[in-house]
Amino acid sequence: MATDPAFEISQVTDMRWETEFQNVLIEFIIKRGHGVWLLDPARLKGGGIPDLLVVTKDGRALFRELKTDVGHVDARQEEIIKKMRSHGADVDVWRPRDFSGGSIGGELD
């Protein structure tokens, strides 16, 4: 397991599969001391729910859909994201370029 954040970031720059990104990102989140849960869409009625629930050290709940840099959010996911936002949830889409660009780390701090 990598302990150097620079190594983790370099792993993400060429991610082609969402699961690769997911695994590196979950490890990164845990190492920073935040809570993270992978939400299983197969067990949630109707699907479309974001992939991750992150609870930051300061208690914020972040719902995040994970996509590759070329992946698309489908219509059901867009509908769920819009509904969650209308209820005040902090929900967004994270991509490998957000990680390597530093915006994900910034959201967690």
- What sign does the CA torsion over 42, 46, 51, 53 have? negative
Looking up tokens 């995040």, which residue turns up?
A: 64
Strand order through the sheet with 90-94: 35-38, 52-55, 61-66, 90-94
Tens of each residue's pLDDT in the chain, 109 residues: 344 454 454 455 555 677 888 999 999 999 999 999 998 766 667 778 999 999 999 999 999 999 989 999 999 999 999 999 999 999 999 999 998 888 999 999 8
pTM (2 d.p.): 0.82
Distance in angstroms (rounded) separating the CA atoms of residues 95 and 107: 13
5-108: CATH class = alpha beta
